[in-house]
Amino acid sequence: MNINMTLIGQMIAFAIFVWFCTKYVWPPISNALHERQKKIADGLDAASRASRDLELAEQQASETLRESKEQAAEILEQAHKRSTQMIDEARDQARQEGERMIAQAKSEIDQEVNRAKEELRGQVSRLAIVGAERVLEASIDEKQHGKLVDQLAEEL
């Protein structure tokens, strides 16, 4: 157990190993570890971001669903309203048409009645004249008495 040159040798060996370790051993391991650390941190970050995105998307989806439901209900309601309106309109129209047709028929009937009356009146007046002629045996001035008969006929 003598103290000798081994002491110096060991010192030199120590220096060499430290130098080698600093230069060639420490950096790659350190880099790899730090890179992995970063990677894991990034991964965790991405995961949390993704879950947040998912939550957001779900929220959006439910919102859209709700909106579309509302819209559908609105459309349905509108259609309903429109259909009742259409039915009402059609009913009104039909009623008007019917009334108009009834009025027309009535006026036609009136016309017909008037014409028939006119005709009848004419025939009656002629018949009366003929009758009177027969009675008076042509003693009557047709011209003078025609006027009288016409007046009579109008009174009918």
Question: Given the rule CB under 8 A, which residues bind other proteins?
Answer: 1-11, 13-18, 20-22, 24-33, 35-36, 39
| Structure token digits, residue 133 | 């002629």
What are the b/e assignments for 13-22, b being 16+ CB within 10 Å? eeeeeeeeee
Nearest-approach distance from CB 40 to other proteins, in angstroms:
9
Nearest-approach distance from CB 49 to other proteins, in angstroms:
21
Closer residue to other proteins in complex, CB, 22/85: 22
Place of tokens 């045996």: 137
Nearest-approach distance from CB 23 to other proteins, in angstroms:
9
What's the N-to-C CA distance of the chain in angstroms?
Answer: 171
Closer residue to other proteins in complex, CB, 12/102: 12
Nearest-approach distance from CB 45 to other proteins, in angstroms:
16
- Residue 133, burial from CB neighbour count under 10 angstroms (0-12, 13-18, 19+): middle
Closer residue to other proteins in complex, CB, 30/151: 30
Contact between 152 and 128 under an 8 Å Cβ cutoff? The reply is yes
Closer residue to other proteins in complex, CB, 12/61: 12
